[in-house]
């Protein structure tokens, strides 16, 4: 992250990343397929976390409520202490088209995993896909609001997620 911020993503090499981390390039490639993945490390763990929460959500929750509940749990359990890191990471991604594309691919995979988790709960295919995609849209908009704030981190991601989910409900209700 420091190298990307100092030199720019494009100008930073794997050799420099490995050296800064006190690793060999060979060791670097045991953990990451390329230098982009450094910024997306943990996406599999996030997916597992969210899917686990959706699968374990109370049966009374609607599909979108199960997704939002999982997202809020992630905001409180994973993201709460990572505000400054998330801001730096997002600034690096925003400055590079290839990274933006990778971010969208990761979000699409996350939506697919959440849709499958809903299907495992007995939710019909189209409903599961719509709820998962809507949930990821809520996450994306909320995350951008959170990291794009004034830098104080005063508003929690969980609070912003709840507000955005309420706004989505209002939009879909025609309010």
- The pTM for the full model equals 0.90
Is 89 found in the same domain as 161?
Answer: yes
Read off the tokens for 161.
Answer: 């997620």
Is 41 found in the same domain as 21?
Answer: no
Is 141 found in the same domain as 60?
Answer: yes
Is 60 found in the same domain as 95?
Answer: yes
Domains of the chain: total:
2
Is 49 found in the same domain as 26?
Answer: no
Residue 11 three-state SS: coil
State the pLDDT at residue 2.
87
Helical pair 63-74 and 157-173, crossing angle rounded to 10 deg: 160
Q: How far is CA 10 from CA 1, 3, 7, 92, in A?
A: 13, 10, 8, 10
Task: Per residue of the chain (175 residues), give pLDDT as tens.
Answer: 889 888 889 999 999 999 999 999 999 999 999 999 989 988 999 999 999 999 999 999 999 999 999 999 999 999 988 998 999 999 999 999 999 999 999 999 999 999 999 999 999 999 999 999 999 999 999 999 999 977 666 789 999 999 999 999 999 988 6
Cβ partners under 8 Å of residue 23, min gap 6? none
Is 93 found in the same domain as 42?
Answer: yes
State the pLDDT at residue 169.
93
Is 44 found in the same domain as 5?
Answer: no
Is 49 found in the same domain as 14?
Answer: no
What is the extent of the structural domain holding 131?
37-173
Read off the tokens for 117.
Answer: 């988790």
103 close to 111: Cβ distance less than 8 angstroms: no
State the pLDDT at residue 151.
63
């Amino acid at each position: 992250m420091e190298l990307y911020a100092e030199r720019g993503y494009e100008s930073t090499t794997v050799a420099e990343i490995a050296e800064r981390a006190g690793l060999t390039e060979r060791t670097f490639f045991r953990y990451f397929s390329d230098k982009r993945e450094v910024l997306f490390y943990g996406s599999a763990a996030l997916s597992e976390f969210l899917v686990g929460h959706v699968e374990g959500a109370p049966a009374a929750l609607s599909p979108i409520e199960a997704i939002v509940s999982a997202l809020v749990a992630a905001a409180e359990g994973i993201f709460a202490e990572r505000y400054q890191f998330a801001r730096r990471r997002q600034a690096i991604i925003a400055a590079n088209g290839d990274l933006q594309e990778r971010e969208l691919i990761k979000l699409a995979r996350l939506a697919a995993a959440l849709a499958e988790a809903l299907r495992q709960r007995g939710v019909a295919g189209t409903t599961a896909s719509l709820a998962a995609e809507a949930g990821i849209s809520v996450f994306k908009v909320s995350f951008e609001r959170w990291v794009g704030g004034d830098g104080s981190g005063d508003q929690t991601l969980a609070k912003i997620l709840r507000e955005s989910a309420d706004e989505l409900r209002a939009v879909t209700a025609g309010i």
